[in-house]
Amino acid sequence: MKITKICCIGAGYVGGPTMAVIAKKNPNIEVTIVDINEERIAAWNDKDVSKLPIYEPGLAEIVEETRGKNLFFSTAIDEAIAAAEMIFISVNTPTKTYGKGKGMAADLKYVELCARNIAEVAKTDKIVVEKSTLPVRTAQAIKSILHNTGNGVNFSILSNPEFLAEGTAIQDLLNPDRVLIGGESEDAIESLANIYGSWVPQDRILRTNVWSSELSKLTANAFLAQRISSINAISELCEHTEANVNEVAKAIGMDSRIGPKFLNASIGFGGSCFQKDILNLVYIARSYGLNAVADYWEQVILLNDHQKRRFSDNLISTLYNTVSGKKIAMLGWAFKKDTNDTRESAAIYVADHLLNEQANIAVYDPKVTSKKVQADLNYLNTRTAEENNTLVKSYNDPYETSKDAHAIAIMTEWDEFKTYDWQKIYDNMKKPAFIFDGRNILDKTEMESIGFEYSSIGK
């Protein structure tokens, strides 16, 4: 099928950047991104591209270049579905917070709503592309909804999971290691392969059956997260043996079978996907009665929880076993650098733990608003919004944030943290002044020569 119009349902961290790049590389295809969230669509349409709802290096430039030409953001979902030959489902698939599978399974209600919406509106044949990360066999459910509630038109379903990482989304999209397309209909697969083919070499476009494609996405995330939990497990052993986790990571990473990437020890992985996808994998394994498989992958999550808890426990015990009434400065709130996304960020859990010990928390993050910090803490439901508002303050610069603080906790690896006047920060803190470097980004010798009591992960 020749594709002239694409509709993408879901204008989030995946839908927005992915469609912007597809539009840039396919000027003859009209791409419309739709969402039920009016505020988000309005922000995507803001004339001032620094106000886009998502921060990603390079994204604003591409949106500026394509928006209003062949890239459109809209809340008119039905119109966009009706007009398009190809529809991407790029909505969120969070962990269920209710009912069967609560806390483990992926909540597919948004995906199902999309399928029903497409079935209702479609009057011509459509290719429906699963872009969201979905449990293996979801295509079966989508197919059943489309065929049983549709208007008799033909639907082809493809799985085309996204592998971009936030913070590097545009680079990852422009130069992907691979693009994965799973499907039954060769014609549909080739229609999508042609779109990617305008910038991705054919040998990097992998075609598989739909189930392999769905399962590969969960597997890729599980393997990546497993590397972080593996190095984080070793980081704790390093702290007890005077081994240095950076040196260990370098030594093992030079084995080409292991490779150097994704071996940075940290306060633990965050983000909207690793935890959710592994929990989902565990849930799927259990639902097939595969308990050994489920236990194996669950350990990746348990170790990650342990790493976050260990960081805050260490901070509290180092501060003479009490942080009550003490100001703790947190530098970084996003789950990694170069993004404004805070979903499942380790900072939220570390802050919550310190708040349980009655600490006062000061936060500075270059891209995260005070409103977001409060919303993240309120979502945990540990204390009232009023209490969070009193105990946690956000600042616009690191010097104010750390003034009179007893300790600094580095939560995100923002590059700018390395460029600060650390002497000035030290001078304005309570003594002894502690730094807990959850990202191993500062130089221990330099910090100690200023006078800081410095500790980091795995050293």
Residues found near ligand UGA in the complex (CB under 6 A): 133, 162-166, 221, 224, 228, 262-264, 266, 269-271, 273-274, 335-336
Q: Which does 269 bind (CB under 5 to 8 A by kind): ligand UGA, ligand NAD, none?
A: ligand UGA
- Cβ closer to ligand UGA: 23 or 54? 54
The residue from 7, 14, 195, 234 that contacts ligand NAD (CB under 6 A) is 14
The residue from 6, 8, 15, 135 that contacts ligand NAD (CB under 6 A) is 15
Using alpha carbons only, how large is the chain's radius of gyration in Å?
23
Query: Which residues have a Cβ under 8 Å from the Cβ of 13 and sit 6 or more positions away?
Result: 54, 56, 166, 169, 272, 339, 341
Alpha carbon 127 to its chain's center? 27
> Which residue has the closest beta carbon to ligand UGA?
273
Q: Are 301 and 222 in contact (CB under 8 A)?
A: no
* C-beta of 163 vs 420, nearer to ligand UGA: 163
- Among the listed ranges 89-97, 225-233, 238-246, 348-356, the one in contact with ligand NAD (CB under 6 A) is 89-97
List the interface residues with ligand NAD, window 44-83 (CB under 6 A). Answer: 77
User: From the candidates 8, 114, 238, 273, which is the catalytic residue?
Assistant: 273
In contact, 364 and 372? CB cutoff 8 Å: no
89 binds ligand NAD per the rule CB under 6 A: no
State the minimum distance, in angstroms, from the CB of residue 72 to ligand UGA: 25
Q: Which does 36 bind (CB under 5 to 8 A by kind): ligand NAD, ligand UGA, none?
A: ligand NAD
Q: Smallest distance, Å, CB 129 to ligand NAD?
A: 12
Q: Does 93 bind ligand NAD (CB under 6 A)?
A: yes
Applying the rule CB under 6 A, the residues between 261 and 290 that interact with ligand NAD are 272-273
Q: What is the 8-class DSSP label of residue 89?
A: E
Strand partners, 456: 437
Strand arrangement, sheet containing 30-34: 71-74, 30-34, 5-9, 86-89, 126-130, 155-159, 179-183, 205-208
CB of 436 to ligand UGA, least distance (A): 15
Q: What CA–CA distance (Å, rounded) separates 313 from 132?
A: 36
35 binds ligand NAD (CB under 6 A): yes
Strands 155-159 and 179-183: antiparallel
Using CA atoms, how far apart are residues 95 and 133, in angstroms rounded to an integer? 12
> Alpha helices, DSSP H only, in 335-443?
346-356, 370-380, 385-391, 398-402, 422-427
Among the listed residues 56, 107, 166, 376, the single contact to ligand NAD using CB under 6 A = 166
199 in helix, strand or coil? Answer: coil
* Residue number, 169 or 245, with CB nearest to ligand NAD: 169
Binds ligand NAD (CB under 6 A): choice among 8, 32, 33, 40: 40
- Is there a cis peptide before residue 366, judged by omega within 30 degrees of 0? no
CA 8 from chain centre, in angstroms, equals 19
Q: How far is the CB of 411 from ligand UGA (least distance, A)?
A: 10
91 binds, among ligand UGA, ligand NAD, none (CB under 5 to 8 A by kind): ligand NAD
355 binds, among ligand UGA, ligand NAD, none (CB under 5 to 8 A by kind): none
Helix, strand, coil percentages, rounded to 5, for the chain: 45, 15, 40
Pick one of ligand NAD, ligand UGA, none as the site partner of residue 132 (Cβ within 5 to 8 A by kind).
ligand NAD
Per rule CB under 6 A, is residue 10 in the interface with ligand NAD?
A: yes
Q: Catalytic residue at 238?
A: no
Q: Are 283 and 107 in contact (CB under 8 A)?
A: no
Distance from the first to the final alpha carbon of the chain:
57
Sign of CA dihedral 227, 232, 233, 239: positive
Query: Which residues are catalytically annotated?
Result: 273
Tell me which residues touch ligand NAD (CB under 6 A): 9-15, 34-37, 40, 77, 90-93, 110, 113-114, 132-133, 162, 164, 166, 272-273
